[in-house]
Structure 1
Amino acid sequence: MHYADFFDKDQILKIHEASLELVEDVGLIVRNVKARDIFKKNGCLVDNKTCLVKIPKNIVEKYREYYVPDYIFTAQDPKFDINLKDDRPVIVTGSSAPNIIDPKTGEERRSTSTDIANIAYLINELDGFDVFSISTLADDAPKDQISLSRFYPALKNCKKPVRSNTPTIKDLEQVLELGYTIAGSKEAYMKRPFINHHYCPVVSPLTMDVESTEAVIYLTQMGLPVYGTIVPNAGMTSPMNMLSTLVLGNAEFLALSTLIQMIRPGAPMIYAVLSTVADMRTGNYAPGAIETGILQRAHTEMARFYNVPSGGYIGLTNSQVNDAQCGYETGMNTTAALLGGSDLFNMGGLLGSLMAFDFSKAVIDNEIALMLKQMKRGVEFKEKDLGLDIIKEIGPGGTYMDCMHTMKNMRKTAFYPKVATRDMRGKWIDQGKEDAQVRAFKVADKILSKPNKSAFDSELDSIIHSKFKNLVKGNVIW
């Protein structure tokens, strides 16, 4: 497949060399002691007083040789396993919003573990989504089970790959213990680790934090799936220029990936980003801006140069409702990323700059996801499909409506939406003038009104609740 590129080979090399210069000459503040020790052990210049780490170019190049082109999201049910190399575009929900648009009242409120259960079941049933990145927080979580109260209802109700993060190592250990319990043993879980981990250990500009970095080290040492996202924000945490923001973000990716490869050479990674340009009129965060799609394409070019999978948070919106702004921000940026060759799209379900989940938005995004997958398929060239025989048979002025050829190909040639309407205005009026928001909610309501046949059985559920006292119920309640 040919991609829409911004740069030629020489320009790619100059961006790479500029990023190398940053990590070698400027370095990063690395606040995690273990990370500094790993960098120092492998030949980097480390000042423990200032926490500054400088990574020589030759060290980056040495560990770059271990990069691999594959990344697999493992699911509880093997039929849902995803390999980014083969299955792009891989569609993931947006994650970790504190709020939800209440499906009954339409008002924004804090999300709970029950909401997570409902969302998990919905995503399990929507064909456009490949990975459930836990969409919200759980405001009803016991204080010592913040992460369990998210992962448990997610894993209980969704058999697709589940992905999220944890605030502390203690939380991470609890989540892994949950995984061992579901799998039947730690040994069984390690063979198929179906919890997928994601963190943002690099805080722009050029700083590595404590807890997220600790989690990345811990999981990499264990051989479990983990990757990080790089998040420079032009005008705030990177220069107000897209090329220099790309250089800075690329340097941060190289620093993180070097650390990962130092720990476990050959560890799979994703070049994941949420590079943005701030709205300098107000200072507002603008993940829905078209520059996010442009920067995603630019980072994807660098990922292809490094031969690693790429993607990130793309297709987000600043809109607070499912309106035209919401649609064009999601649609334009995901299309740009797809044409640029991105593999992973964290795009589903969130409104208001990642602050609130909306069920209708998730269903609409599912439709966009299916369109992206259709676009990726494109027009396959097979000589038999040139259609000369059928065109000659019908001839000038004929119709293809009643041809067997049409009947045979209609389902595989066209994508038929469930949310978008194609009816004439009169019929649309007769049907109640429903907009996309209403039609999408009807799809969600139909799914969530049915029993979830994928949920844990009562025996496993009892085992989990006996191990984790006071754990949330995690049931779908609609």
Structure 2
Amino acid sequence: MKFFSYLTDAEIQYVHASSLEILEETGLIVRNAKARKRFADHGAIVDNETELVRIPAEVVEKYRKMVPPTITLRGRDSAYDITFPRELPVVATASSAPDIVDPATGITRRSTSADIARIAHLVNTLPGFDLFSISTLADDAPSDQFSLTRFYAALKNCVKPVRTSVYDVREAKQVIRLGELITGSPEAYWERPFINFGYCSIVSPLTMDYDSTETMMYFAENGITAYGTIAPMGGLSTPLSLAGMLTIMNAEWLAVATLAQMSKEGTAQIYNFLPVFADMRDGAYAPGAIEIGMMNSAVCQMARFYNVPAGGYLGLTNSKVSDAQSGFEKGMSPLMGAMSGADFIVMGGLQDALMSFDFGQLMIDNEISMMIKRVREGFGFSKESASLQEIKDTGPAGMFADNPSTLERMHTATFMPELADRNLREKWELEGSSTIQQRALNKALEILSTPNSAALGADADARIRAEFEGIVAGESQLQEGWERIDIGSKLPTRARRINRRGKATQRH
């Protein structure tokens, strides 16, 4: 399949050469002393007083070529393991929203571990999503079990690959211990480690922080599946231009990839990004901007140049509800990513600039994902599908509906949505004039009203609860008060909680 692209070969080479020049001449600040020593031991020029690290071009070139061309993300059930690049993009939920739109009241509130369990249950059943990137934070997590709580509620209810970030190495070890308890022993877990992590060790512009860099090195040293995300903000932490953002972001990705290979050669990576342009009228964070899709096209080209998988946060929106703005923002950039060759698309469930999760939106995004995958399946042109003989046999003024080939292809030739309405207006009105959000919430309720076939077994759960005192329940149970919406009725008014926490949260 040919992919859409913006950059010429000469422009790709210029971005690469400029990135090498930035790393060699300007350098980057590295807050972690262990990382500075590692850079120095492998040929970088390090000033420990200023924490500045300059990496010669030949050093970057040596280590970036060690990045493998594929990555494998594993699930609790090996049948759901995914290795990519592959023909179809891997689609994941977006992660780490602090809030959730309560499905019973419609009012935004803090998310909890029970919400994570319900979302995991849903993701496990939705064919559009290949990976559960844990969608929300958990306000009820014990203070010493924050990331453990999130992973536990997710892994207990989903056999697909699960991932999110952790704050530090202590949390990473705690989550890995969770995996060992699920499998029954450390040996069994490390035969096929199925927990996946993320990190964001770059703070644009050109700064590597302490904790995320420490965890990145720990993951690499121990062969733990993890990938980083570069998350610049155009106009604030990068130049206010597409090309300028790409150049600095590419330099930052090369720096992280280089340190990962210095930590352990052959560490798998994704060229993964969350670039956002600030709305310079007021500095607003604008992840729904079309420029995100445009940037992804260029990122895909750079990833192919480096022979590594390309990924990005694409189906995001600034809208607070599942409205027309949400639809076009969540549809346009993921489709552009798919047409540009994105291997990994993070898109599902979040609204309001990654601040809130909505169950109905997750269901809608599942259909968007299925459409994106349908596009990437390709046109399927062949002499057989061109149907020359069928056209001749049917002839002028003929009807193709009763041809055997039409019956054979009716479920494969086109994508059949469950939520999108295709009825005549009269039928739609007779059935209550429903909105897609109403239909989506009802579908989510229907799924969550059935037992979760993917739920963790009792023996494994008993081992976990015996080791981690005070751990949350982690059960997928239908929320009290969540009832089927009578089609024709209005949804509860959406409201926002005002008392946002001031504490920064990891978002990737």
TM-score for the superposition, normalised by structure 1 = 0.99
CA distance in 2, matches of 1:176, 1:203: 26
CA contact 2:86–2:343 (8 Å) conserved in 1: no
2:187 partner letter? E
Rounded Cα–Cα distance in structure 2 between residues aligned with 1:137 and 1:184 = 27
CA distance in 2, matches of 1:291, 1:216: 29
Matches within 5 A, 1:356-367: 356-367=356-367
Q: What secondary structure, in the 3-state scheme, does the structure 1 residue paired with 2:298 have?
A: helix
Q: Which residue of the partner structure matches residue 482 of structure 2? A: none
Q: Give the structure 2 partner of residue 300 of structure 1.
A: 300
Listed one character per residue, the Cα deviations across residues 287-325 of structure 1 (whole Å, up to 9, x for unaligned) are 000111111111111011000000121110000000000
Match of 2:181 in 1: 181
- Asked if 1:468 corresponds to 2:468, the answer is yes
* 2:211 alignment partner in structure 1: 211
Report deviation, 1:382: 2.3
1:22-33 equivalences in 2 (<5 Å):
22-33=22-33
Residue 234 of structure 1 corresponds to 234
Q: Which residue of 2 aligns with 1:157?
A: 157
Greater helix proportion: 1
Look up the SS of the partner of 1:237 in the other structure: coil
Indicate the SS of the match to 1:412. Answer: coil
- Distance in 2, Cα, partners of 1:176 & 1:281: 45
Residue 368 of structure 2 is matched in structure 1 by 368
Q: CA deviation at 1:34?
A: 1.2
Task: State how far apart, in whole Å, the 2-side matches of 1:159 and 1:301 are.
Answer: 32
Report 1:75-154 matches (<5 A).
Answer: 75-154=75-154
Letter in structure 2 aligned against 1:20: L
Q: Aligned equivalents of 1:69 and 1:433: distance in 2?
A: 49
Q: 56-65 vs 185-194, which deviates more?
A: 185-194
Inter-partner Cα distance in structure 2 for 1:87 and 1:178: 33
SS of residue paired to 2:398: coil
Match of 1:171 in 2: 171
Q: CA deviation at 1:190?
A: 1.6
How far did 1:88 drift? 3.0
Alpha-carbon offset, residue 327 of structure 1: 0.4
What is the CA–CA distance in structure 2 between the aligned matches of 1:62 and 1:33, rounded to whole Å?
Answer: 22
Superposed CA deviations along residues 325-356 of structure 1, whole A, max 9, x for unmatched, are 00000101011111111111110000000000
Post-superposition offset of 1:87: 4.9
Tell me, in whole angstroms, the C-alpha distance in 1 between the residues paired with 2:104 and 2:65.
53
CA distance in 1, matches of 2:443, 2:371: 17
Q: Give the secondary-structure state (helix, strand or coil) at the position aligned to 1:399.
A: coil
Displacement of 1:185: 1.6
SS in 1 for 2:305: helix
Contact 2:87 2:377 (C-alpha < 8 Å) held by counterparts: no
Equivalent in the alignment of 2:255: 255
Q: Do 2:99 and 2:356's aligned partners in 1 also have CA atoms closer than 8 Å?
A: yes
- Tell me how far 1:65 sits from its aligned partner: 2.0
Q: Following the alignment from structure 1 to structure 2, what is the Cα–Cα distance between the partners of residues 65 and 115?
A: 41
Conserved 8 A contact 1:88-1:344: no
Q: CA deviation at 1:67?
A: 2.0
For 1:185 and 1:37, locate their aligned partners in 2 and report how far apart those are by CA, in whole Å. 35
Aligned partners of 2:320 and 2:155: how far apart in 1? 28
Structure 1: 5+ residue runs without aligned partners? none
Structure 2 residue aligned with 1:423:
423
- The runs of 5 or more residues in structure 2 that have no matched partner are 479-508
* Residue equivalent to 2:459: 459
Which residue of the partner structure matches residue 504 of structure 2? none
| Correspondence 1:54 to 2:54 | yes
2:433 is aligned with what amino acid? Answer: K
The letter of the residue matching 2:214 is E
> 2:431 and 2:396 mapped to 1: Cα distance?
38
Q: Aligned partners of 1:322, 1:349: CA distance in 2, in Å?
A: 10
Cα distance in 1, alignment partners of residues 383 and 88 from structure 2: 26
| Equivalent pair of 2:127/2:366 in contact (CA under 8 Å) | yes
Query: What secondary structure is seen at the aligned counterpart in 2 of 1:197?
Result: strand
Deviation at 1:7, TM superposition (A): 1.2
- Amino acid in structure 2 at the alignment position of 1:357: F
Asked if residue 285 in structure 1 is aligned to residue 285 in structure 2, the reply is: yes
> How far has the Cα of 1:11 moved from its partner?
1.1
**DSSP-derived class of the 1:322 partner:** coil
Deviations 1:132-179 (A, max 9, x none): 000000000111111111000100000000010111211111101001
Q: Which amino acid is 1:289 matched to?
A: A
Q: Which residue is 1:412 aligned to?
A: 412
Equivalent-residue separation in structure 1 for 2:78 and 2:120 (angstroms): 17
Q: Secondary structure at the match of 2:92?
A: strand
SS of match in other structure, 1:471:
coil
Q: Distance in 2 between matches of 1:351 and 1:104?
A: 18
1: CA distance between counterparts of 2:332 and 2:347?
12
8 A contact 1:91–1:347 mirrored in 2: yes
